[in-house]
A and B are shown apart, each in its own frame.
Chain A
């Protein structure tokens, strides 16, 4: 992995270069912020370690410049500070740095901070791959529109609302909300296994064709389950599996593929069911116009207790305003805002004491 080292002090730069090379990175060194910015714009660097106090452009200004421009993927920034410069640390983090390290640093500390950075960058890569897979599967029958972008925002919104309810406190936490946002776009991934003549048929399906159509839930689930068996620690695969399998189940047991009822249906499946139906209702299809929010809302309310979990319908009503906003927002905006969402490390930092 390439790493860009920025410091006007050649001694410090040489020590940094030596360490990161020992840790298996490919270092490139520059002595000022302007040169750093020029190299970052080439898209070759996802990691930058920069001194703060430099003539010309300071490390803090460099951070601000990097964050202020669209870059090809996320750039992870570690700032180097003097040992008693808490004020600069705060300014640097506020300008968008991910982490900081006091000088002179210990190589073992540098190694751990680099590891944290790599972990974060790989998570971003994973999220992008998941979403790309989902888009690929969706592309066959849904070439236009931003169904998946809206879907994940709807599911995120519903889960986030439920996380405030006492009865869900132990199941729906921040991690759950993040996972459902990440995995709900995979709900229809099994459609890749449905033949074109059925998936793309303009008219209504015959009962036989519909039986085949229903199998997209099982095809998707089986694919994700086999992946989950290889990576049992990947809880997002587990949730993706549950969503793919159960998002067409209904609260009263009349859904498919297994006719599960009530809480037999995993919560993530119940949430995705409502989000999927709401988006289908408010989007234009070959066989129907886009319904207004009010009409979609009536249909969903009618389905409380039969099609939908009444609690999820209540959650929907509580965040109705946000649903309308998402539905109206241009799809491209959704992509830009959400694709590069990266958790912040700031709250977990221990700032050094001023001496």
Chain B
């Protein structure tokens, strides 16, 4: 439960916690690599979906995309992103969605940052990634 609670606090707030990702994949680095590539590939489209939904005032779509992003980012260890996506999901489900704009901007910026980080790591060798994971992950 510690991981989940951490998503809502600032205490554990990594751009990409590779430690937890490697652990979740039970050391299967092949799987780690696949998940990260998939994530990097879909990032741009996700940002477009979010922005289009907000422009159209389509809060349902916004909540649903944010929900999916929350799950994905939490799984790969993008903790800050998971926290932001969770806020978007929650606020777009509640009636007074006032400051969605600024949170959404933060989320889009975060997605891009994670994407850059992920692409860099995907270019590194698996060994290097493993070392990163073993050394405590984080940013």
Contacts and interface: CB of A to CB of B under 8 A. Distances in A.
A9 B72 contact: yes
Given A12-B75, A102-B4, A107 B23 contact: yes
A22 B27 CA distance: 10
Contact of B4 (A9, A107, A352): A352
Contacts of B24: 15, 19, 104-107
A103 interface: yes
A53 B24 CA distance: 21
Nearest to A7: B71
Interface in A90-137: 102-107
Contacts of A15: 24-25, 31, 35, 75
Interface residues of B, number: 26
A71 to B, nearest CB: 29
A14 B71 contact: no
B110 to A, nearest CB: 17
Given A53-B67, A104-B75, A355 B5 contact: yes
Main SS of chain B's interface residues?
helix
A15 B35 CA distance: 9
A106 B3 contact: yes
A18 B5 contact: no
Contacts of B7: 83
B26 interface: yes
B75 A106 contact: no
A4 B92 CA distance: 33
Interface string B22-42: 011110100100110011000
A302 B87 CA distance: 74
Query: In the complex, which of the residues A14, A22, A105, A352 has the most CB atoms of chain B within 10 Å of its own CB atom?
Result: A14
A102 B31 contact: no
A355 B26 contact: no
Contacts of A206: none
Interface in B59-78: 67-68, 70-72, 74-76
Interface string A293-319: 000000000000000000000000000
B23 A11 contact: no
A271 B107 CA distance: 68
B25 A11 contact: no
Contacts of A18: 25-26, 28, 31
Contacts of A82: 67, 70-71
Given A83-B7, A102-B1, A355-B5, A11 B26 contact: no
A10 interface: yes
26 contacts: A11-B38, A11-B76, A12-B75, A14-B34, A14-B35, A15-B31, A18-B25, A18-B28, A19-B24, A22-B28, A53-B67, A83-B4, A83-B5, A84-B4, A84-B86, A102-B4, A103-B4, A103-B71, A104-B3, A104-B4, A104-B20, A104-B24, A104-B74, A105-B24, A107-B26, A355-B5
Interface of A: 9-12, 14-15, 18-19, 22, 53, 82-84, 102-107, 352, 355
Given A9-B71, A19-B24, A106-B3, 11 more contacts: A11-B75, A12-B71, A14-B31, A18-B28, A19-B26, A22-B28, A83-B74, A84-B4, A103-B71, A104-B20, A355-B5
